[in-house]
Amino acid sequence: MSTEPNFTNTIEEWSNFFIPLTGGVQLAARAWLPTNAIEQPVPAILEYIPYRKRDGTAIRDEQMHPYWAAFGYACVRVDMRGCGESDGLLIDEYLQQELEDAVEVIGWLAQQDWCSGKVGMMGKSWGGFNSLQVAALRPTALKAIITVCSTDDRYADDIHYRGGALLTENFSWASTMSCYMAKAPDPLLLPETWREHWLERLQNMPLLAKNWLEHTYKDAYWKHGSINEDYSAIKAAVYCVGGWGDAYSVAIPRMIQGLPGPKKALIGPWAHKYPNFASPKPEVDF
């Protein structure tokens, strides 16, 4: 990040609130925004991932989102269904339900008194993937995305298959996600219902690797969420960010060539990291 930021706003944090969706589902969120956003509405930036805002990404979020908020944005970090204190279940990666929920969240953000009606979306890895996928659905309020360490082709470039060969990371990543999904919601935030939510997750926890092993070819399962199937679906501006040490770097030139709208790219010497937390260094701002 910039070593001498010229902050233009004082900010406030909302440590936990809930965004209502169709059917009564609520997604847990955390936000940082200028203190005068009600009087002077600002654009919102959504990060929408499964990694638990309360503990999993809490330290990173506290370093990153307030920084942007101080420049005049409402930065909103939302846990997906079945994660953290959000309702529902997480069944697989990038399901249509996940994307439709994001579209609803974007619409909700755009309607808030503190939002100007314009929304951006950003994320790394899972959040970079679903930023692309949600952009392809063209929510009216979504104007731009930053997609970090992601790909346009879920079969060719993700951690499941490479050149048609099964990757062992299928099993390590499935195990990692099982650990995330097995964690209980925070009883301090859901004192009446945390145990009920937790048991529902444990009783319905999927074996993610089973889904991936059942689709050995690039069939409809992998084409879903692969935006290279139709680059023209994306009209929002796209900023593609990656690292030469990251497995997804080869996707960036393809996306820059294929995407029809405003676009730019940044590839640095780091690995699977946001550039402001780059490893190896140097760390850089966006």
Q: Residue 2: what pLDDT?
A: 42
The string of pLDDT tens digits covering residues 115-155 is 999 999 999 999 999 999 999 999 999 999 999 999 999 99
How far apart are alpha carbons 142 and 134 in whole angstroms? 9
Supply the DSSP string of 240-259, one letter for each residue.
EEEETTSTTTTHHHHHHHH-
Q: Which tokens go with 260? A: 């029809």
pLDDT at 7: 76
Kindly report the CATH number assigned to the domain that includes residue 107.
3.40.50.1820
- pLDDT tens per residue across span 30-47: 999 999 999 999 999 999
State the Cα–Cα distance between residues 135 and 261, nearest whole angstrom. Answer: 12
Q: What pLDDT digit, counting tens, does each position of 47-82 carry? A: 999 999 999 999 999 999 999 999 999 999 999 999
- Asked if residue 147 is part of any domain, the answer here is yes
Number of other residues whose CB lies within 10 A of the CB of residue 266: 15
Residues 107 and 96: their CA atoms lie apart, in Å, by 17
Residue 187 is assigned to a structural domain of this protein? no
- The burial of 26, by beta-carbon neighbours within 10 Å (0-12 exposed, 13-18 middle, 19 or more buried), is given as middle
Question: Looking at the whole model, is its pTM more than 0.85?
Answer: yes
pLDDT of 8: 81
Domain span at residue 111 reads 11-152+232-277
Look up residue 90 and give its amino acid: L
**Residue 266, in any domain of the structure:** yes
23 part of a folded domain: yes
Tokens coding 202? 């444990």
Say if residue 1's pLDDT is above 50: no
Within-domain flag for 157: no
Tally the C-alpha atoms within 13 A of residue 169's C-alpha that lie toward its C-beta: 9
Structural domain includes residue 200: no
How many separate domains does the chain show? 1
SS3 state at 146: strand
The answer to whether residue 95 sits within a structural domain is: yes
Give the DSSP per-residue string, 47-87. EEESS-TTTTTHHHHHHHHHHHHTTT-EEEEEEPTTSTT-S
Please measure the distance between the N-terminal and C-terminal CA atoms of the chain and give it in whole angstroms.
8
- For residue 5, pLDDT over 90 is answered with no
Assess if residue 249 is contained within a domain.
Answer: yes
